[in-house]
Amino acid sequence: MSEKVLPKTLPGFMELLPNEQIKFNEMMDKIRKAYERFGFLPLDTPIIESSEVLLAKAGGETEKQIYRFNKGENDLALRFDLTVPLSKYVAKNYNEISFPFRRYQIGKVYRGEKAQKGRYREFYQCDIDVIDKDELSLLNDAEMPSIIYSIFKELGFGDFTISINNRKILNGLFEALDQKENSVDILRIIDKIDKIGKENVEKELSELGVSQEKIDVIMNFISITGSIEETIKQLRDLKIECELFQTGVNELEEVAKNIATFGVPRENYKIDLTIARGLDYYTGTVYETFLNEYRNLGSVCSGGRYENLAEYYTDKKLPGVGISIGLTRLFFQLTDKKIIEVGNNSIAKVLIISMVDNFEKSIEVATQLRNSGINTQIYTNNDKIKKQFQYANRLNIPYVIVIGEDEIRDNKVSLKNMETGEQQTITIEEAIKIIEK
């Protein structure tokens, strides 16, 4: 063996060192536990699907980015999100599933994006959706923010705000102003207001061919601020004559009220009339979530309500509401900006170091610790003691147990707390009690 292959990982693919991976998994576990606490069922679908199924709906950017290939006679593709597989799954298992169907899925998806810092071609999405037949109660729209709250409270990245809106309000407004065909452009222009200022927004809207009268309505609309109650009142005061708009306002009011009932503190959510999300997909409530101190990271958890999950596969009407966390990107951002620290995590809680050649006692102690549910590693090499302690340090293992001749004779262990440096010779039962704390 002399010709070696360079052991490289492809650009755009995250591959972490162990201490980073421990942190990553901690975040994923917290998200999963929160999803389960709200009664969502696990789902795992193949990463490979037939291209026909995956691309039933897709087009444009998605189709360009997709990993698609042939194997034998089969035209295959890698999933690019978890929503299309869910649609297929629900349509396929319609008769086996109990509705309302609440499912979570945490898995990798693939997009052949241009490789650049913070952009990934393989990344984890953590999704939940509630799907029902024909109609889905608006209570579910109010529950989503309480799940977001529960997760980000536990993840502990500081204060955060869940922005909610209702697409019917925006769609109704554009309908009332007879600007449906301009809606994408108008939203794009509105979205720049923080950057280019109010006057330039008006100017660009005018260049788009929107009359001054209508620009005034739009500017009034986007200047609405205040508490939820004040916002709802001002929306009604606009006197937009459009049923869709009024339905949107009523839904938003009801959802906002119930979010409070779900125990989400007032400071953690607000109405933001400018958020729209995917233009043609969402049809009702929409969500974005921002870390208050790092708003420039963009939304860290988004979602919304849609009319019909699986229309490309079935005639059955399946409304739903869901949210998604892009965990790989979020993890990159949080570590890149040093919002989370990696390096103080460990899997093993104890490293056992033997001062004698016979490992019998060390093995017995390890087995006792493991049987008590304590993650334990035996250092199996006869390296110098100093090197073994360094190893414990590098792996951030909080406790070291040293087994020497004295310990074997007295049937005790020497337990060292690696953080405080404190060392004591005690029974194994006493050691277990200390470590369990």
211 versus 380: smaller Cβ distance to its own copies: 380
Q: Which of 315, 254, 252 is nearest to 284 (CA)?
A: 252
42 makes contact with its own copies (CB under 8 A): yes
Question: Residue 232: what are its φ and ψ, rounded to 5°?
Answer: -60, -45
Minimum CB distance to its own copies, residue 164 (Å): 17
49 makes contact with its own copies (CB under 8 A): yes
292 versus 380: smaller Cβ distance to its own copies: 380
Tokens, residue 226: 């205040």
Which letter, b or e, does each residue of 71-100 get, where b requires 16 or more Cβ atoms within 10 Å of its Cβ?
A: eeeeebbbbbbbbbbbbbbbbeebeeeeee
Tell me which of 27, 31, 58, 91 binds its own copies, using CB under 8 A. Answer: 91
Minimum CB distance to its own copies, residue 46 (Å): 4
344 makes contact with its own copies (CB under 8 A): no
81 makes contact with its own copies (CB under 8 A): no
Q: Which 3-22 residues touch its own copies, going by CB under 8 A?
A: 4-10, 13-18, 21-22
333 versus 377: smaller Cβ distance to its own copies: 377
80 makes contact with its own copies (CB under 8 A): no
100 makes contact with its own copies (CB under 8 A): yes
CB atoms inside a 10 Å sphere around CB 389: 18
CA distance 129 to 355: 55
CA dihedral (19, 127, 301, 267) in degrees, to 10, reads -100
Tell me which of 125, 146, 299, 414 binds its own copies, using CB under 8 A. Answer: 146
CA distance 244 to 426: 73
376 makes contact with its own copies (CB under 8 A): yes
95 makes contact with its own copies (CB under 8 A): no
Tell me which of 61, 74, 154, 229 binds its own copies, using CB under 8 A. Answer: 74
3-state secondary structure of 363: helix
Residue 261: partners with Cβ closer than 8 Å, 6 or more residues away = 142
Q: Which 213-242 residues touch its own copies, going by CB under 8 A?
A: none
Tell me which of 81, 97, 283, 356 binds its own copies, using CB under 8 A. Answer: 97
Q: Which 53-72 residues touch its own copies, going by CB under 8 A?
A: 53, 56, 67, 69-72
261 makes contact with its own copies (CB under 8 A): yes
CA distance 146 to 262: 6
Q: Which of 128, 107, 81 is nearest to 28 (CA)?
A: 107
Minimum CB distance to its own copies, residue 135 (Å): 8
Binding mask 113-142 for its own copies (x = CB under 8 A): --------xx---------x--xxx-xx--
Q: Which 294-313 residues touch its own copies, going by CB under 8 A?
A: 310-313
Tokens, residue 264: 């989400």
355 makes contact with its own copies (CB under 8 A): no
Q: Which of 369, 6, 323 is nearest to 151 (CA)?
A: 323
227 versus 358: smaller Cβ distance to its own copies: 358
Residue 17: partners with Cβ closer than 8 Å, 6 or more residues away = none
Minimum CB distance to its own copies, residue 382 (Å): 8
47 makes contact with its own copies (CB under 8 A): yes
3-state secondary structure of 329: helix
